[in-house]
Amino acid sequence: MDRLRKLSIMLGSELEILELEERIHTQVQEEVDRTQREFFLREQLRLIQQELAESDPLMAELAELKERIEQSAMPPDVREKALKELTRLQAIPPAAPEVGIIRTYLDWLLTLPWGAAQEEPVNLTQAAQVLDAHHYGLTKAKERVLEYLAVRQLAPGKMQSPILCFVGPPGTGKTSLGRSIAKALGRTFVRMSLGGVHDEAEIRGHRRTYVGAMPGRILKGMRNAGVVNPVFMLDEVDKLGFDFRGDPAAALLEVLDPEQNKAFLDHYLDVPYDLSQVFFITTANVLYTIPPALLDRMEIIEFPGYTEEEKLTIARRFLLPRQIEAHGLEAHPVRFSEQALRHIIREYTSEAGVRNLERSIATVCRKIARRIAEGRRAPHLVTVGNLAKFLGPPQYTFGTVEDEDEVGVATGVAVTEYGGDIMSVEVSIMEGKGNLLLTGQLGEVMQESAQAALTYARSHAEELGIEVEDFDKIDIHIHVPDGAIPKDGPSAGITIATALISALTGRRVARDVVMTGEITLRGRVLQIGGLKEKALAAHRAGLKTFIVPAKNKKDLVDVPSHVRRQLRFVFVHRMDEVLPVALRDTHPSPPSAKDDHTRQRRVRTPRTRPSVPDTRPSLSPE
């Protein structure tokens, strides 16, 4: 009985296992039968629909995709990849989440332009007329575009599309000229702003493994253009940033290289795309923020600030008609006298471009439009006399920087993001302990220029007529106004030296003289940059004489002819050539009571020349 009992328990356990295996086998067989039955039924339904000339919407869509892929102008390797993805799509159940990803990918491949190119006009005269009709001046940029058209006409298909970089202050017409170039070439215009872009994926796209992955903005622009040879403007390329997500400027190296962009690889598409026929134009306000490798790939075309005469012409030909139309004043045309426009340019705007000039004209038009809408009498001619009623009191002072010649105050000129600008340097001498105080947010290079200027003045004290016997008993304060604005660069060297020598000798600096140049310890004047922008700023301020390093004489060809006629250029090699032009008298004059705050105090002590302590800010180990 014990043996039978044990045997019964063992047989019961084996029976349960056999029953479980039978149940699992039965369920698997039923599922296989159901799947096979569904497959056979679907195949029968498909064949029946084909016989009846009817189609399933999904099957019809897949067939249409296959036909579009085969008829597109894709390269063979891209077409092969697209057909492979289509095969995967056909094998995946319709409810699978990957269906939407593959379908979106195929849509991108099909909507991108692969071979459609726009024909370019061969009439150079007509293209030149289009550029001149929309922009005044900007000769270099226009000539470069016409040269490109001429080469394309003589050797079609052999020349690579240029990659231009328009550099200049805001409001000088860089972006709008890109639109005009596209119109002159007969091409589609695409603009992409790079200001504030920090993510490399904005250029190259995301890989398809990420949720919500999309191509980069380059390929998005190409899809919007619909052609393989648009004019593609990358605006504000100098405002790119980088962080942990990558460096967009590094991603642009492939886009803006004619040798590499023939096979541009976007992370999303993962197939090469040809960008070699695209006419790339980039814009920037400054060049020093652009990485050297990226800058080397572009052809730089500088956009200097406009002169007063150019602004006057632009206002008459472009700004006034546009604002009159925008404010609905066609039935009540408003005219501006030439003196009123000059008054706005000189005393209501201070810029290298014409953006604020257009805003001022728009302000006048708005106030006239309101008067007309209210039924009041509105003037048809804007003159200097009634200009203050519309714009208020003048905001800027036109003319020389100083009202009279002063001791210890010299006028220099600098280049900023907004073009050239006038800069005053003030020096004051007082009793002290031999300190040199520098204020006005001066950078390290500018502080070193002040140190070099002081060293030159001390080493040539006897020649310059400086009567200070002991520099340890005076303090020298050098200040550059507009202290909230950081300033740096070596080009203010001779300006600081002139103001310093003026304060030490009591000689007055000519108020109508402006100067620029780097100074060395031996008094040599070295070459500087941005001569055209600085000359325009000096001319705009009404100055008469411009002291320039002799090595910059070759850059005078870039200065407009009427500025060269109205501005006297003095080219110097050494500091001793600057002082006879910048200082009024040749001998120290007795200081007046008015100049007590700038004159030095002469101390009769034994003649010694101890070194001036270094007052530059120390650098931390970091």
Cβ atoms of 231 and 187 within 8 Å: the answer is yes
Distances (CA, A) of 360 to 319, 411, 613: 10, 29, 51
> Is residue 384 within 8 Å of 345, Cβ to Cβ?
no
CA distance 186 to 174: 19
Rounded Cα–Cα distance for residues 155 and 146 (Å): 14
Give the single-character DSSP code of 444. H
Write b or e for each residue in 128-142: b if 16 or more Cβ atoms lie within 10 A of its Cβ, otherwise e. Answer: bebbeebbbbbeebb
Distance CA 197, CA 240 (A): 6
CB count within 10 Å of CB 318 equals 18
CA–CA separation, 357 and 344 (whole Å): 7
Strands 299-302 and 163-167: parallel
Any idea what DSSP says for residue 611?
A: P
508 exposure class (CB count in 10 Å sphere: 0-12, 13-18, 19+): buried
Name the catalytic one among 360, 424, 428, 491.
491
Kindly report the CA angle at 240 between 234 and 243, in degrees rounded to 5? 140
The DSSP bridge pattern shows strands 508-509 and 406-407 to be antiparallel
Name the phi and psi angles at 302, rounded to 5: -85, 140
DSSP secondary structure, 345-407, as one string = HHHT---SSSHHHHHHHHHHHHHHHHHHHTT----SEE-HHHHHHHH-S-SS--S-SSSS-EE
Locate 349 and state its tokens. Answer: 């705007």
- Biggest alpha carbon–alpha carbon distance for the chain: 141
Residue with tokens 């016989």: 51
Half-sphere exposure in the Cβ direction for 371 (13 Å, CA): 15
**Annotated catalytic residue 534:** yes
Helix, strand, coil percentages (3-state) for the chain, rounded to 5, are 45, 15, 40
Facing residues of 479 across strands?
Answer: 426, 439
CB 216 within 8 A of CB 269: no
Residue 16 exposed, middle or buried by CB count within 10 Å (0-12, 13-18, 19+): exposed
Q: What would the two tokens of residue 531 be? A: 């001569």
φ/ψ of residue 562, rounded to 5: -70, -25
Question: How many Cα atoms occupy the beta-carbon half-sphere of 412 within 13 Å?
Answer: 28
Residue 276 is among the residues annotated as catalytic for this protein = no
Q: Which of 534, 544, 553, 618 is catalytic?
A: 534
Bridge pairing between strands 163-167 and 279-284? parallel
Cα 292 from Cα 363, distance rounded (Å): 42
| End-to-end Cα spacing for the chain | 93
Catalytically active residues are 491, 534
